Amino acid sequence: MDSISHIVLGAAVGELILGKKIGKKAMLWGALAASLPDIDVFFTPFFDPIDALFVHRGITHSFFFISLIIPLLGWIFSRFNWKRKATQKEWTFLFFVTILSHPLLDSCTMYGTGILEPFSNYRAQFTSLFIVEPFYTVPLLTGFIALLILRQDSSKRKFWARFGLWLSMVYLLFAICNKFYVSSVFTESLQKQNMHFTDYETSPTPFNNILWNIFAKDTNGYWVGFYSDLDKTKNIQYSFVPRNDSLAGDLLHNEQVQKLIRFSNGYYCFTICDNELRFNDLRFAFSGEFDCQADRKNFAFSFALKKDDSKPYGIEIKRNPWSKTRFYGFSKLVERVKGV
């Protein structure tokens, strides 16, 4: 999830756990603790573009890291808080809830979270939320602003802290249930149309949980479709995106390209665009394209690949900027959310 979501979630939890004892500082420490796993962003510039993908949401988001840092912070804050208003147990509980909330929430998005590192490179992803989800964040942000304005002795503080938490939790529960429902709609439609698939991935489109897309894996590529909860019919139209491994040639077996494939969780394709070989991660949205007749060339998460023996790993890799169509895609997204 985005940084704002983690900050306002941590602040609300901090207020409920230690607000009465340490005042508004509880919001500050809760917000900072909930953001702590994202310290990995300060290290990503020291890695090449591919390895940096795994550094983010890597070891600092793991249960191993959390199990070490929580008791340490609890001990430090209980010893060096000069007013001694909160016990070590209370500090530890604050850090347990806020820090643990970060990887759990991130695991609900498509990027993947290394919760088992360093013992496994498995990355958890239960794609029920888009990485930036206003409907989840706004209730928490509303409560956060109210808590900043209210006096410390106000009787309304607990209400506003709970307000944001409860509404966001209800929305998260809706998103999880909606994923199961939409996945059943997709698989049923694929089966009715006699489309062969070995695996599939469903994910919400940007900034909402109403419009979803699916990538159903076939032998040579993927069946791609969109479905809105507001659609009048469940007769979903699909288009086929070929994986195009042959375009990569020998580069397909390159160590860094294999890392990209692993990062994509096996949902990728190669394309030639502007005379460049591009690796595209299908899990992320197309740039401004939300129908099955669109030309699948503009991908939101794309790398240009070029063989170069003078470079490390014998390959030059650069991240492609999003296509300009992203600026015009929002109106198309809104229209498609409304249903067909």
Give the Cα separation of 240 and 335 in Å (integer): 23
Please determine, for residue 327, whether its predicted confidence score (pLDDT) is greater than 70. Answer: no
The helix (H) or strand (E) run that includes residue 278 is: strand 276-281
Core vs surface per residue 282-313: b (16+ CB within 10 A) or e: bbbbbbbbbebebebbbbbbbbbbeeeeeeee
pTM for this model (two decimals): 0.92
Please report which residue ranges of 23-84 form alpha helices under DSSP H.
Answer: 25-35, 49-55, 63-80
pLDDT digits (tens, 9 = 90+) for 238-257: 989 999 999 999 999 999 99
Give the Cα separation of 232 and 23 in Å (integer): 51
Give the Cα separation of 135 and 130 in Å (integer): 10
Do 215 and 209 contact (CB within 8 A), yes or no? no
pLDDT digits (tens, 9 = 90+) for 157-193: 999 999 999 999 999 999 999 999 999 999 999 999 9
DSSP 156: T
pLDDT digits (tens, 9 = 90+) for 255-300: 999 999 999 999 999 999 888 899 999 988 665 555 555 455 668 7
Q: Which residue did the predictor score with more confidence, 6 or 294?
A: 6
Amino acid letter at 84?
A: R
Q: Domain-by-domain residue ranges, the chain?
A: 3-175, 193-337
Query: Could you check whether the bond before residue 118 is cis, i.e. omega within 30 degrees of 0?
Result: yes
Instruction: Name residues whose C-beta falls within 8 Å of residue 283's C-beta, 6 or more positions apart in sequence.
Output: 110, 127, 201, 203, 215, 264, 265, 267, 301
pLDDT digits (tens, 9 = 90+) for 82-136: 566 889 999 999 999 999 999 999 999 999 999 999 999 999 999 999 999 999 9
